[in-house]
Every structure is written in structure tokens, then in C-alpha cells.
């Protein structure tokens, strides 16, 4: 188990990392919510702060007085058992608290937590603090993807900064890695932090399969588009086809056609499409349709986990064919934190890996991310599998 000194350092680093992500923003960027699933950066900063106040300070610091009596209403995300809250669709309608007040809230809670973490803590409290830290790291990724959406759907295509690298050169090893059929163990075993949805390690039987060493590139995806991929219903699920027609989708998110050439919004503004980079910002629907076009398929989350040691991962979240469901013996935590993962195990697809927006030391081979199949504002990509 982690030592108290390491815990304090990790907490402080995580808090300052969040503020560093927001440093390039203008004040107006902090407030808007252009679509329901994109929260204003100001809200993320307040919500991650409220998490420590709600689950730790107000429970374990004797005589603790909340920073503001209404902030639980403003910054509670989805915890029904904690109480009423601002509707998700209204997060972008709040001009108060101001950005400055949210920064003051952050400073206050960081300082109270620092004092708290200097005490001797029992194991259960350390586990709670770790959840708070990893919760904030999850929101750091959401902050980056939400900031990209806020800036990238603005007609001026403003840049975020000059340094954020969205594309990495892929592994040089092309081709596929063959995995023999057999019984394999999946799920987390160890004594470091993991989420409850990774516990319940168990055996799965896999048929032989071959998994691609590389992620699909923009060049390959462009071939799919040019071959009429978005116009042929045979590649798409029924609800995906409705989604294509209802939304006029004909390319990944942030792709724009200028003089018959595709450009792509990046954190550095609008740029010509980098055809050698991994395809990015696609929905599960699109990942599936691409695989159909190619005559291959997406891996299940267990095929991905068993094979992950053979390929580089971590620059894109990778869509899998698996529905997000509990592992055997899955148990929700007691109390409000039982709402963290379990109640989302319906109608979502699992993503594996990590992305350029994922915080350091946050992901691992057993980590299970999950989103609805139409969503594509995360840094998502495609790895293919073929049957042998």
C-alpha cells in the first residue's frame, strides 16, 4: 500500500496538473457547455474539488465546515444518494460561482486536504483518497477532450497551445500477432489502485485469433470514406445508420473538407490531415463499420487484454466489441461511491488502453473505459482482429 508521503505528493501533483491543463484557457472558455456531454471546465474544477470535500473532509474531519452550503448542489454530478443537483444540461448556464470563486474553492480544499493527509490515516481512508485522486485524473482527460470540443466546434478554430502532441509514431512492427486458443486470466490482480469494475479476475476461453500490431491510420480510414463507406448501409448497425442519416455524418469528428482536401482540428488549430497518424475521434459505430468494410472485426475486451503485451498502446482509446458488464462476483462499494461504476453497466461499449489525454499513471492493461456507441469526442481509435 502507498505511503502517506507518496499519497500527499500524488494528491498535490494531481491538483496542480488540473490547473495546468486549464492555464491556456480564456475566461469565457471555462463557462460554456456546447453539448450535453461536454461539461464546462469551470464545472470540472469545482466537481473534482467537491469530491474531496463530500467524501473525505465532511466525513473524516471533526467539525469541518463546508466552504459554501450550495456547492454540493452545483457540483454533484450523478450521485442520487447524496441529493439534488443542477441538471447536467444546465451546467453551462451558470455564470456563478465565478471562475475566480472556483479557484478559491480549489485552493481552500487543497489546503484542508494537505493538512488532513499529514495525519496518520487508516487503510480505508487511504483507499478513499486514492479514488479521489484517480477520479480527478479521469476528469483531467475529460477536461482535455471537453476543451478540444469547446475550441474545435468554434468557427474560429482557436488553438489551445503549441505543445500538446496528439499523434505519436506507431510501433514499427506491422502485421498481426497470433494468439493461440486457450484459457486465459483477465481482470486485476495486485495491490495497487484499480477500480472496482476491474476486480473479480477470472478465466476466459478464447478461440485462436490474430490482432493487429498497429492502430488504423487516417490514410486507411480515408480509403474507407473514398470507397463510399459512409454511404453503404451494409457496413452499419441499424441504429448506426439512423445516426448517420440523422446527423449527416460523413467523416470523423473534427474533419473538415477544404477545397476537396480533408483538414483536421487539433489543439494547434486547423491542420491538413496527417495521413500517417492513427485515426481519431470515431464512434463505436464507425469503428465497427470500418472493420466490416475491411472484412475483419473489433477485438473483444478480453482478446485485447490477453494480447496487449504484444503491441504499443496508450495513444488512443480502442473500441472493443464488448458490452460494459460486471465481472463475476462484482460488488458495488457500500454507500454513494457504489454509484461510481456499477450503475453505468448498460448500453455502453468498453474501450481499452489509454490516450494522449490520459493522465500519467492512470491506466493499465486491465483498465475498462466505457462510452455510449455514438460518442466520439474522446481520443478513440481502431485496432482490428481477424479470425485465423
Interacting residues toward Fe ion by CB under 5 A: 77
Q: How far is the CB of 138 from Fe ion (least distance, A)?
A: 7
For 327, list phi and psi in degrees, rounded to 5: -75, 165
Q: Is 4 left (phi over 0), alpha (psi -120 to 50) or beta?
A: alpha
Q: Is the peptide bond before 97 cis (omega within 30 degrees of 0)?
A: yes
161 near 333, Cβ under 8 Å? no
- At closest approach, how far in Å is the CB of 188 from Fe ion? 21
Whole-number Å distance between alpha carbons of 297 and 217: 16
Distance CA(214)–CA(318), nearest Å, equals 11
Distance CA 77, CA 142 (A): 14
Q: Which is nearer to Fe ion, 307 or 337 (CB)?
A: 337
At its nearest, how many Å lie between Fe ion and the CB of residue 74? 13
d(CA 368, CA 328): 15
Distance in Å, CB of 100 to Fe ion, minimum? 22
The residue (of 339 and 374) whose beta carbon lies closer to Fe ion is 339
Q: Three cell numbers at 163?
A: 505543445
CB contact at 8 A, 11 and 133: yes
- Closest approach of Fe ion to the CB of residue 14, in Å: 13
Nearest to 306 by CA among 186, 388, 175: 186
* Complex with Fe ion: residue 49 or 77, whichever CB lies closer: 77
Q: Which three cell numbers stand for residue 187?
A: 481482470
Nearer to Fe ion, 47 or 349 (CB): 47
Would you tell me how many other CB atoms lie within 10 Å of the CB of residue 237? 15
Q: Residue 333 to residues 244, 341, 343, 348: CA-CA distances in angstroms?
A: 39, 9, 12, 21
Nearer to Fe ion, 49 or 213 (CB): 49
Task: Please report, in angstroms and rounded to a whole number, the separation of the first and last CA atoms in the chain.
Answer: 43
Nearer to Fe ion, 47 or 352 (CB): 47
> Least distance from C-beta 44 to Fe ion, angstroms?
8
Query: Nearest distance from residue 278's CB to Fe ion, in Å?
Result: 27
The residue count of the chain comes to 388
Contact 21, 140 (CB under 8 A): yes
Cβ proximity to Fe ion, 77 vs 283, nearer residue: 77
Q: Is 78 or 168 the residue whose CB approaches Fe ion more closely?
A: 78
Nearest to 218 by CA among 385, 384, 381: 381
Give the DSSP H/E element, type plus range, for residue 126. helix 123-152
Select 197 or 278, whichever has its Cβ closest to Fe ion.
197
d(CA 156, CA 161): 15
Shortest CB 293 distance to Fe ion, Å: 36
Residue 45 CB, shortest distance to Fe ion, in Å, is 12
Residue at shortest CB range from Fe ion:
77
Rank residues 77 and 322 by Cβ distance to Fe ion and give the closer one: 77
- Mapping DSSP to helix (H, G, I), strand (E, B) and coil, where does residue 59 land? helix
State in angstroms the smallest separation of the CB of 380 from Fe ion: 20
Amino acid at each position: 500500500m502507498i505511503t502517506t508521503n507518496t499519497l500527499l505528493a500524488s494528491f498535490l501533483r494531481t491538483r496542480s496538473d488540473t490547473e495546468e491543463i486549464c492555464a491556456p484557457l480564456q475566461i469565457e472558455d471555462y463557462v460554456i457547455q456546447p453539448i450535453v456531454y461536454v461539461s464546462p471546465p469551470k464545472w470540472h474544477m469545482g466537481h473534482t474539488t467537491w469530491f474531496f470535500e463530500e467524501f473525505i473532509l465532511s466525513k473524516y474531519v471533526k467539525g469541518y465546515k463546508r466552504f459554501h452550503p450550495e456547492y454540493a448542489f452545483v457540483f454533484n454530478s450523478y450521485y442520487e444518494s447524496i441529493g439534488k443537483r443542477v441538471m447536467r444540461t444546465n451546467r453551462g448556464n451558470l455564470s456563478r460561482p465565478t471562475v475566480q470563486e472556483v479557484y478559491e474553492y480549489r485552493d481552500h480544499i487543497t489546503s484542508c486536504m494537505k493538512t488532513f493527509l499529514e495525519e496518520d490515516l487508516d487503510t480505508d481512508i487511504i483507499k478513499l483518497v486514492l479514488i479521489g485522486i484517480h477520479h480527478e485524473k479521469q476528469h483531467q482527460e475529460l477536461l482535455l477532450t471537453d476543451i478540444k470540443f469547446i475550441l474545435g466546434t468554434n468557427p474560429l478554430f482557436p488553438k489551445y497551445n503549441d505543445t500538446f502532441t496528439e499523434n505519436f509514431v506507431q510501433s514499427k512492427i506491422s502485421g498481426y500477432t497470433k494468439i493461440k486458443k486457450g484459457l486465459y486470466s483477465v481482470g486485476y490482480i495486485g495491490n495497487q489502485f484499480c477500480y472496482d469494475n476491474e476486480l473479480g479476475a477470472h478465466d476466459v476461453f478464447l478461440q485462436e485469433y490474430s490482432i493487429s500490431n498497429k492502430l488504423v491510420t487516417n490514410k486507411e480510414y480515408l480509403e474507407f470514406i473514398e470507397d463510399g463507406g459512409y454511404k453503404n448501409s451494409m457496413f452499419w448497425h441499424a441504429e448506426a445508420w439512423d445516426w448517420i442519416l440523422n446527423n449527416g455524418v460523413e467523416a470523423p469528428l473534427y474533419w473538415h473538407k477544404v477545397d476537396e482536401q480533408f483538414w483536421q482540428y487539433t489543439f494547434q488549430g486547423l491542420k491538413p490531415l496527417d495521413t500517417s497518424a492513427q485515426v481519431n475521434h470515431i464512434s463505436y459505430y464507425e469503428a465497427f463499420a470500418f472493420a466490416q468494410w475491411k472484412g475483419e472485426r473489433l477485438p473483444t475486451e478480453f482478446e485485447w487484454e490477453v494480447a496487449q503485451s504484444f503491441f504499443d498502446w496508450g495513444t488512443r482509446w480502442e473500441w472493443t466489441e464488448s458490452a460494459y458488464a460486471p465481472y463475476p462476483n462484482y460488488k458495488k462499494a457500500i454507500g454513494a461511491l457504489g454509484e461510481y461504476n456499477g450503475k453505468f453497466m448498460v448500453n455502453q461499449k468498453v474501450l481499452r488502453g489509454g490516450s494522449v489525454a490520459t493522465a500519467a499513471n492512470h491506466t493499465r492493461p486491465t483498465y475498462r473505459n466505457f462510452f455510449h456507441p455514438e460518442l466520439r469526442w474522446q481520443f478513440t481509435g481502431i485496432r482490428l482482429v481477424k479470425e485465423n
